[in-house]
Structure formats: structure tokens, C-alpha cells
Amino acid sequence: MGKIVVLVFLTFSLHAKSNVYEDVCVKCHRYQPAVLEKMFMLYLKTYSVELGFKLSLKEYLQNPTEEKSLIGSAFIRNFSVKDPSDLNETQLDEAIDYYWELYNPKNNLK
């Protein structure tokens, strides 16, 4: 019985986290050429460890600049640097955690 309760809790927890990611991040990136999975791989290649990945992404989202951007100058010339995120600390952490879990290659190894 306890395992079922934990499983239900985790399912609801992941769904709640996905709302911020799906409602804010995916909503905006859906219409841009920068695919979220490719951006994930670029951040992973650059920062390689989870903590560095998450901290650098959060710093960029809170205060985006061309110098911090990994996407490239051609993209920035066409679309400019994004505005700072309107998400609060908690929402930003949840969205980044969900993003990490969604595309982390280790989660797809069998």
C-alpha cells in the first residue's frame, strides 16, 4: 500500500513540475527554430555535470545576455536575446529540474 501512495505522489509531483515547463518553456520554444532537446545537448556538452548545467541555465534565464548565450550569434542576430524569465525561483527550479529529467541521456539508458 505504501508503494502505491509513493507512486501516486511522484506521478502528481512530476505532473505539477511539468506544468511550468510545458506551459511556459515549450509554449514559447514551439515556434522557434531552437529545439529544446538540441539546446539541452548544447548545455550538457558545455557544462557536462548536472549542477553546472542547472546553475548556468538558471543564471542565463534570470539575466540573459549575448555573452552567456550558447545558441550562437547568428540566432541572436535573427531573434535577439530573450527577455529575463518571469518565473519565480521555485518555478524556475522546477522547470529546469523537469527539463533535466526529460532529456538527460542517462535516464534513457537500459
pLDDT in tens, the chain (110 residues): 555 544 444 445 545 555 899 888 888 888 776 688 888 999 999 998 999 999 999 999 999 999 998 888 888 888 888 899 999 999 999 999 999 999 988 877 76
Find out whether 59 and 68 touch, Cβ atoms under 8 Å: yes
H-type helices in the chain, by residue range?
A: 2-20, 27-29, 36-47, 50-62, 73-79, 89-103
